[in-house]
Structure 1
Protein backbone atom coordinates (compact mmCIF):
# COMPACT_ATOMS: atom_id res chain seq x y z
CA UNK A 1 0.00 0.00 0.00
CA UNK A 2 1.23 3.50 -0.82
CA UNK A 3 2.56 5.57 2.06
CA UNK A 4 1.67 9.16 2.90
CA UNK A 5 -2.06 8.68 2.30
CA UNK A 6 -4.87 9.27 4.75
CA UNK A 7 -8.42 7.91 4.74
CA UNK A 8 -10.91 10.77 4.90
CA UNK A 9 -14.18 9.92 6.65
CA UNK A 10 -17.48 11.12 5.21
CA UNK A 11 -21.16 10.48 5.87
CA UNK A 12 -21.93 7.20 7.54
CA UNK A 13 -23.44 4.50 5.35
CA UNK A 14 -26.50 4.56 7.61
CA UNK A 15 -27.00 8.27 6.85
CA UNK A 16 -26.69 7.70 3.10
CA UNK A 17 -29.14 4.80 3.27
CA UNK A 18 -31.64 6.98 5.12
CA UNK A 19 -31.27 9.92 2.72
CA UNK A 20 -31.61 7.71 -0.36
CA UNK A 21 -34.32 5.50 1.12
CA UNK A 22 -32.64 2.19 0.36
CA UNK A 23 -29.76 -0.06 1.38
CA UNK A 24 -26.69 -0.51 -0.76
CA UNK A 25 -25.46 -4.03 -1.44
CA UNK A 26 -23.57 -6.14 -3.96
CA UNK A 27 -25.36 -8.92 -5.81
CA UNK A 28 -22.58 -11.05 -7.28
CA UNK A 29 -23.57 -13.28 -10.22
CA UNK A 30 -21.16 -16.12 -10.94
CA UNK A 31 -21.35 -18.98 -13.42
CA UNK A 32 -20.02 -20.34 -16.68
CA UNK A 33 -19.87 -18.31 -19.86
CA UNK A 34 -23.34 -18.47 -21.52
CA UNK A 35 -25.00 -19.49 -18.25
CA UNK A 36 -27.25 -16.43 -18.42
CA UNK A 37 -25.56 -14.21 -15.82
CA UNK A 38 -25.70 -10.97 -17.80
CA UNK A 39 -29.20 -11.62 -19.11
CA UNK A 40 -30.65 -12.10 -15.62
CA UNK A 41 -28.55 -9.29 -14.11
CA UNK A 42 -29.75 -6.86 -16.79
CA UNK A 43 -33.38 -7.86 -16.23
CA UNK A 44 -32.94 -7.54 -12.47
CA UNK A 45 -31.38 -4.08 -12.83
CA UNK A 46 -34.30 -2.95 -14.99
CA UNK A 47 -36.82 -4.38 -12.52
CA UNK A 48 -35.17 -2.74 -9.50
CA UNK A 49 -35.04 0.62 -11.28
CA UNK A 50 -38.72 0.27 -12.16
CA UNK A 51 -39.39 -0.28 -8.46
CA UNK A 52 -37.59 2.97 -7.67
CA UNK A 53 -34.40 1.35 -6.36
CA UNK A 54 -31.07 2.75 -7.61
CA UNK A 55 -29.01 -0.05 -9.11
CA UNK A 56 -26.13 -0.43 -11.55
CA UNK A 57 -24.77 -3.46 -13.38
CA UNK A 58 -21.06 -4.10 -13.84
CA UNK A 59 -20.54 -6.59 -16.66
CA UNK A 60 -17.47 -8.75 -17.20
CA UNK A 61 -17.03 -7.88 -20.88
CA UNK A 62 -17.88 -4.19 -20.53
CA UNK A 63 -15.43 -3.59 -17.68
CA UNK A 64 -12.62 -5.00 -19.82
CA UNK A 65 -13.14 -2.17 -22.32
CA UNK A 66 -12.06 0.38 -19.71
CA UNK A 67 -11.07 -0.24 -16.09
CA UNK A 68 -9.54 -3.66 -16.77
CA UNK A 69 -8.46 -3.32 -20.39
CA UNK A 70 -4.86 -4.01 -19.34
CA UNK A 71 -5.72 -7.51 -18.09
CA UNK A 72 -5.72 -10.81 -19.94
CA UNK A 73 -7.19 -14.16 -18.94
CA UNK A 74 -4.35 -15.86 -17.11
CA UNK A 75 -5.10 -16.94 -13.54
CA UNK A 76 -3.14 -13.97 -12.20
CA UNK A 77 -5.02 -11.51 -14.40
CA UNK A 78 -8.36 -13.10 -13.51
CA UNK A 79 -7.49 -12.67 -9.82
CA UNK A 80 -6.74 -8.97 -10.36
CA UNK A 81 -9.85 -8.53 -12.50
CA UNK A 82 -12.06 -9.77 -9.66
CA UNK A 83 -10.15 -7.82 -7.00
CA UNK A 84 -10.71 -4.56 -8.87
CA UNK A 85 -14.37 -5.18 -9.55
CA UNK A 86 -14.98 -6.15 -5.93
CA UNK A 87 -13.53 -2.80 -4.87
CA UNK A 88 -15.66 -0.93 -7.41
CA UNK A 89 -18.82 -2.83 -6.43
CA UNK A 90 -18.14 -2.03 -2.78
CA UNK A 91 -17.93 1.69 -3.61
CA UNK A 92 -21.26 1.57 -5.45
CA UNK A 93 -22.84 -0.33 -2.56
CA UNK A 94 -21.36 2.08 -0.03
CA UNK A 95 -23.14 4.90 -1.89
CA UNK A 96 -26.46 3.13 -1.18
CA UNK A 97 -26.70 1.73 -4.71
CA UNK A 98 -27.47 -1.90 -5.48
CA UNK A 99 -24.40 -3.08 -7.39
CA UNK A 100 -24.94 -6.04 -9.72
CA UNK A 101 -21.81 -7.80 -10.93
CA UNK A 102 -21.91 -10.27 -13.80
CA UNK A 103 -18.56 -12.07 -13.96
CA UNK A 104 -17.59 -15.69 -14.45
CA UNK A 105 -15.31 -15.26 -11.40
CA UNK A 106 -14.25 -18.92 -11.59
CA UNK A 107 -12.14 -19.19 -8.43
CA UNK A 108 -13.61 -19.69 -4.96
CA UNK A 109 -10.71 -17.82 -3.36
CA UNK A 110 -11.37 -14.69 -5.44
CA UNK A 111 -15.07 -14.69 -4.62
CA UNK A 112 -14.23 -15.20 -0.95
CA UNK A 113 -11.88 -12.21 -1.14
CA UNK A 114 -14.73 -10.12 -2.57
CA UNK A 115 -17.03 -11.32 0.22
CA UNK A 116 -14.47 -10.54 2.92
CA UNK A 117 -13.87 -7.08 1.46
CA UNK A 118 -17.56 -6.31 1.96
CA UNK A 119 -17.59 -7.91 5.41
CA UNK A 120 -14.69 -5.67 6.44
CA UNK A 121 -16.48 -2.52 5.27
CA UNK A 122 -17.76 -1.83 8.79
CA UNK A 123 -14.33 -1.87 10.42
CA UNK A 124 -13.72 1.20 12.55
CA UNK A 125 -17.29 2.50 12.19
CA UNK A 126 -20.74 1.98 13.62
CA UNK A 127 -22.08 0.87 10.24
CA UNK A 128 -23.12 -2.68 9.49
CA UNK A 129 -21.11 -4.55 6.84
CA UNK A 130 -22.22 -4.09 3.25
CA UNK A 131 -24.39 -7.07 2.26
CA UNK A 132 -22.79 -9.42 -0.26
CA UNK A 133 -25.18 -11.78 -2.03
CA UNK A 134 -23.65 -14.49 -4.18
CA UNK A 135 -25.97 -15.70 -6.94
CA UNK A 136 -24.82 -18.93 -8.56
CA UNK A 137 -26.16 -19.33 -12.08
CA UNK A 138 -26.06 -23.11 -12.07
CA UNK A 139 -26.16 -24.40 -15.64
CA UNK A 140 -24.57 -27.64 -16.91
CA UNK A 141 -21.62 -26.99 -19.19
CA UNK A 142 -23.36 -28.96 -21.94
CA UNK A 143 -26.20 -26.44 -21.89
CA UNK A 144 -23.84 -23.45 -21.84
CA UNK A 145 -21.83 -24.93 -24.70
CA UNK A 146 -24.98 -25.59 -26.72
CA UNK A 147 -26.04 -21.94 -26.29
CA UNK A 148 -22.57 -20.51 -27.06
CA UNK A 149 -23.91 -17.13 -28.34
CA UNK A 150 -20.42 -15.72 -28.93
CA UNK A 151 -18.92 -18.90 -30.39
CA UNK A 152 -16.35 -19.00 -27.59
CA UNK A 153 -16.75 -22.66 -26.66
CA UNK A 154 -16.29 -23.66 -30.27
CA UNK A 155 -13.08 -21.62 -30.46
CA UNK A 156 -11.89 -23.03 -27.13
CA UNK A 157 -12.50 -26.61 -28.33
CA UNK A 158 -10.48 -25.78 -31.44
CA UNK A 159 -7.61 -24.50 -29.29
CA UNK A 160 -8.06 -20.92 -30.49
CA UNK A 161 -8.70 -19.58 -26.95
CA UNK A 162 -6.35 -20.40 -24.09
CA UNK A 163 -7.47 -20.57 -20.47
CA UNK A 164 -11.17 -20.78 -21.28
CA UNK A 165 -13.29 -21.54 -18.23
CA UNK A 166 -14.89 -24.98 -18.29
CA UNK A 167 -12.71 -26.21 -21.16
CA UNK A 168 -9.04 -25.41 -20.56
CA UNK A 169 -9.39 -23.59 -17.23
CA UNK A 170 -11.37 -24.58 -14.12
CA UNK A 171 -14.64 -23.27 -12.76
CA UNK A 172 -15.02 -23.76 -9.01
CA UNK A 173 -18.72 -23.76 -8.15
CA UNK A 174 -19.77 -22.01 -4.92
CA UNK A 175 -20.27 -24.19 -1.86
CA UNK A 176 -22.78 -21.98 -0.05
CA UNK A 177 -24.21 -19.27 -2.35
CA UNK A 178 -27.06 -17.20 -1.00
CA UNK A 179 -29.13 -17.87 -4.11
CA UNK A 180 -29.02 -20.52 -6.85
CA UNK A 181 -30.83 -19.93 -10.13
CA UNK A 182 -31.07 -22.33 -13.07
CA UNK A 183 -31.70 -20.54 -16.33
CA UNK A 184 -32.17 -23.82 -18.21
CA UNK A 185 -35.13 -24.67 -15.96
CA UNK A 186 -36.62 -21.23 -15.20
CA UNK A 187 -37.39 -18.19 -17.33
CA UNK A 188 -35.54 -14.90 -16.89
CA UNK A 189 -38.65 -13.44 -15.25
CA UNK A 190 -38.84 -16.35 -12.81
CA UNK A 191 -35.15 -15.98 -11.92
CA UNK A 192 -35.59 -12.25 -11.27
CA UNK A 193 -38.66 -12.93 -9.13
CA UNK A 194 -36.72 -15.53 -7.14
CA UNK A 195 -33.95 -13.04 -6.36
CA UNK A 196 -36.33 -10.20 -5.50
CA UNK A 197 -38.36 -12.44 -3.18
CA UNK A 198 -35.17 -13.49 -1.39
CA UNK A 199 -34.07 -9.87 -0.96
CA UNK A 200 -37.48 -8.94 0.41
CA UNK A 201 -37.53 -11.89 2.80
CA UNK A 202 -34.14 -10.82 4.18
CA UNK A 203 -35.30 -7.22 4.61
CA UNK A 204 -32.70 -5.90 2.18
CA UNK A 205 -35.18 -4.14 -0.09
CA UNK A 206 -38.53 -2.49 0.41
CA UNK A 207 -40.61 -2.16 -2.70
CA UNK A 208 -41.61 1.42 -3.50
CA UNK A 209 -43.29 1.01 -6.85
CA UNK A 210 -44.19 4.25 -8.62
Structure 2
Protein backbone atom coordinates (compact mmCIF):
# COMPACT_ATOMS: atom_id res chain seq x y z
CA UNK A 1 0.00 0.00 0.00
CA UNK A 2 1.16 3.48 -0.87
CA UNK A 3 -0.30 6.48 0.98
CA UNK A 4 0.52 9.52 -1.14
CA UNK A 5 0.24 12.93 0.57
CA UNK A 6 -0.04 15.82 -1.89
CA UNK A 7 0.11 19.52 -1.15
CA UNK A 8 2.08 22.68 -1.75
CA UNK A 9 5.01 23.80 0.36
CA UNK A 10 3.76 24.53 3.87
CA UNK A 11 0.55 22.48 3.55
CA UNK A 12 1.60 20.07 6.30
CA UNK A 13 2.71 17.04 4.27
CA UNK A 14 5.77 16.37 6.43
CA UNK A 15 3.97 17.04 9.72
CA UNK A 16 1.03 14.77 8.85
CA UNK A 17 3.21 12.22 7.04
CA UNK A 18 5.64 11.62 9.88
CA UNK A 19 2.81 11.19 12.37
CA UNK A 20 0.93 8.87 10.01
CA UNK A 21 4.12 6.85 9.50
CA UNK A 22 4.54 6.38 13.26
CA UNK A 23 0.90 5.36 13.68
CA UNK A 24 0.93 2.94 10.72
CA UNK A 25 4.22 1.39 11.81
CA UNK A 26 2.51 0.07 14.96
CA UNK A 27 0.29 -2.26 12.93
CA UNK A 28 2.48 -2.56 9.82
CA UNK A 29 6.14 -2.77 10.86
CA UNK A 30 7.20 -2.90 7.20
CA UNK A 31 6.19 0.77 6.74
CA UNK A 32 8.64 3.38 5.46
CA UNK A 33 8.36 7.15 5.12
CA UNK A 34 9.56 9.01 2.01
CA UNK A 35 9.74 12.79 1.80
CA UNK A 36 10.15 14.45 -1.59
CA UNK A 37 12.61 17.07 -0.31
CA UNK A 38 14.77 14.48 1.46
CA UNK A 39 14.81 12.22 -1.59
CA UNK A 40 16.27 15.06 -3.66
CA UNK A 41 19.20 15.09 -1.22
CA UNK A 42 19.51 11.29 -1.22
CA UNK A 43 19.81 11.33 -5.01
CA UNK A 44 22.59 13.90 -4.81
CA UNK A 45 20.71 17.10 -5.54
CA UNK A 46 21.31 16.65 -9.26
CA UNK A 47 18.00 18.17 -10.34
CA UNK A 48 16.76 21.71 -10.45
CA UNK A 49 13.30 22.85 -9.45
CA UNK A 50 12.23 23.73 -12.99
CA UNK A 51 9.47 21.66 -14.58
CA UNK A 52 11.90 19.25 -16.25
CA UNK A 53 13.78 18.55 -13.01
CA UNK A 54 10.54 18.22 -11.08
CA UNK A 55 9.19 15.70 -13.59
CA UNK A 56 12.32 13.53 -13.36
CA UNK A 57 12.07 13.65 -9.57
CA UNK A 58 8.38 12.72 -9.67
CA UNK A 59 9.19 9.68 -11.79
CA UNK A 60 11.98 8.62 -9.47
CA UNK A 61 9.71 8.78 -6.43
CA UNK A 62 6.88 6.89 -8.12
CA UNK A 63 9.21 4.16 -9.40
CA UNK A 64 10.85 3.82 -5.96
CA UNK A 65 7.40 3.44 -4.40
CA UNK A 66 6.50 0.80 -7.01
CA UNK A 67 9.64 -1.18 -6.17
CA UNK A 68 8.89 -1.03 -2.43
CA UNK A 69 5.24 -1.92 -3.05
CA UNK A 70 6.25 -5.04 -4.99
CA UNK A 71 8.23 -6.11 -1.92
CA UNK A 72 5.21 -5.76 0.37
CA UNK A 73 6.42 -2.57 2.01
CA UNK A 74 3.86 0.05 3.01
CA UNK A 75 4.95 3.57 2.04
CA UNK A 76 3.86 6.95 3.32
CA UNK A 77 5.08 9.43 0.68
CA UNK A 78 4.91 13.18 1.28
CA UNK A 79 5.32 14.74 -2.15
CA UNK A 80 4.41 18.08 -3.75
CA UNK A 81 3.18 16.05 -6.76
CA UNK A 82 2.29 18.43 -9.60
CA UNK A 83 2.09 15.91 -12.43
CA UNK A 84 -1.36 14.37 -12.90
CA UNK A 85 0.10 11.77 -15.26
CA UNK A 86 2.30 10.41 -12.43
CA UNK A 87 -0.66 10.36 -10.05
CA UNK A 88 -2.56 8.35 -12.67
CA UNK A 89 0.47 6.04 -13.12
CA UNK A 90 0.56 5.52 -9.35
CA UNK A 91 -3.11 4.59 -9.24
CA UNK A 92 -2.68 2.08 -12.07
CA UNK A 93 0.64 0.64 -10.88
CA UNK A 94 0.57 0.28 -7.10
CA UNK A 95 -1.17 -2.69 -5.48
CA UNK A 96 -3.10 -0.20 -3.34
CA UNK A 97 -2.92 3.57 -3.69
CA UNK A 98 -4.51 6.04 -1.30
CA UNK A 99 -4.14 9.69 -2.32
CA UNK A 100 -4.55 12.44 0.28
CA UNK A 101 -4.70 16.09 -0.76
CA UNK A 102 -3.79 18.63 1.92
CA UNK A 103 -5.74 21.57 0.59
CA UNK A 104 -4.52 24.83 2.11
CA UNK A 105 -5.27 28.28 0.61
CA UNK A 106 -2.32 30.20 -0.79
CA UNK A 107 -2.75 33.08 1.68
CA UNK A 108 -2.37 30.61 4.59
CA UNK A 109 0.68 29.00 2.96
CA UNK A 110 2.26 32.42 2.52
CA UNK A 111 1.57 33.31 6.18
CA UNK A 112 3.24 30.09 7.34
CA UNK A 113 6.15 30.17 4.85
CA UNK A 114 8.65 28.69 7.32
CA UNK A 115 11.24 28.26 4.55
CA UNK A 116 10.76 31.82 3.23
CA UNK A 117 10.10 30.30 -0.18
CA UNK A 118 7.01 32.26 -1.14
CA UNK A 119 8.45 35.54 0.14
CA UNK A 120 11.59 35.00 -1.92
CA UNK A 121 9.57 34.08 -5.01
CA UNK A 122 7.33 37.15 -4.70
CA UNK A 123 10.46 39.31 -4.33
CA UNK A 124 11.93 37.78 -7.50
CA UNK A 125 14.84 36.21 -5.58
CA UNK A 126 13.99 32.63 -6.59
CA UNK A 127 12.19 31.07 -9.53
CA UNK A 128 10.33 27.87 -10.23
CA UNK A 129 8.21 28.00 -7.09
CA UNK A 130 5.01 25.98 -7.27
CA UNK A 131 2.02 28.18 -6.59
CA UNK A 132 3.84 31.33 -7.67
CA UNK A 133 5.36 30.83 -11.12
CA UNK A 134 4.63 27.11 -11.59
CA UNK A 135 0.95 26.19 -11.44
CA UNK A 136 -0.25 23.67 -8.87
CA UNK A 137 -2.90 21.46 -10.48
CA UNK A 138 -5.33 20.25 -7.85
CA UNK A 139 -5.42 16.44 -7.78
CA UNK A 140 -8.24 15.16 -9.96
CA UNK A 141 -9.40 12.27 -7.79
CA UNK A 142 -7.94 12.25 -4.29
CA UNK A 143 -9.28 9.59 -1.96
CA UNK A 144 -9.33 12.08 0.91
CA UNK A 145 -9.15 15.88 1.05
CA UNK A 146 -7.92 17.51 4.25
CA UNK A 147 -8.08 21.24 4.69
CA UNK A 148 -4.54 21.20 6.06
CA UNK A 149 -3.18 21.77 9.51
CA UNK A 150 -5.41 24.28 11.22
CA UNK A 151 -8.98 24.26 9.91
CA UNK A 152 -9.40 20.47 10.08
CA UNK A 153 -7.19 19.93 13.11
CA UNK A 154 -3.65 19.36 14.27
CA UNK A 155 -1.21 17.13 12.37
CA UNK A 156 -1.98 14.32 14.84
CA UNK A 157 -5.73 14.63 14.23
CA UNK A 158 -5.24 14.72 10.46
CA UNK A 159 -2.91 11.72 10.54
CA UNK A 160 -5.54 9.86 12.58
CA UNK A 161 -8.19 10.65 9.96
CA UNK A 162 -5.94 9.29 7.21
CA UNK A 163 -5.15 6.19 9.28
CA UNK A 164 -8.86 5.51 9.86
CA UNK A 165 -9.53 5.77 6.11
CA UNK A 166 -6.51 3.66 5.12
CA UNK A 167 -7.19 0.87 7.61
CA UNK A 168 -10.87 0.93 6.71
CA UNK A 169 -10.03 0.45 3.04
Interval of TM-score (by shorter of Structure 1 and Structure 2) = over 0.9
Pairwise CA distance, 1:91: 1.4
Gaps of 5+ in 1: 1-24, 119-129, 203-210
In structure 2, how many angstroms separate the alpha carbons of the residues matched to 1:68 and 1:56?
A: 20
For residue 179 of structure 1, what is the aligned residue in structure 2? Answer: 144
Higher relative contact order (CA 8 A, sep 6+): 2
Q: Find the counterpart in structure 2 of residue 201 from structure 1.
A: 168
CA contact (8 A) 1:31 1:104 kept: yes
Name the structure 1 match of 2:100. 135
Instruction: Judging by fraction of residues, say which structure has more helix.
Output: 2
- CA apart distance, 1:52: 4.6
Q: How many residues align?
A: 167
- In structure 2, the gaps of 5 or more residues are none
2:69 equivalent among 93, 105, 113: 93
1:43 aligns with 2:25: no
TM-score by length of 1: 0.75
CA distance in 1, matches of 2:81, 2:26: 28
Secondary structure in 1 matching 2:32: strand
Alignment deviations for residues 24-82 of structure 1 (CA, whole Å, 9 cap, x no partner): x1111111100000110000111112335321111111111122621111111111111
| TM-score when normalising by structure 2 | 0.92
Stretches (4+) displaced over 6 A = none
Rounded to whole Å, the distance in 2 between the matches of 1:91 and 1:53 is 17
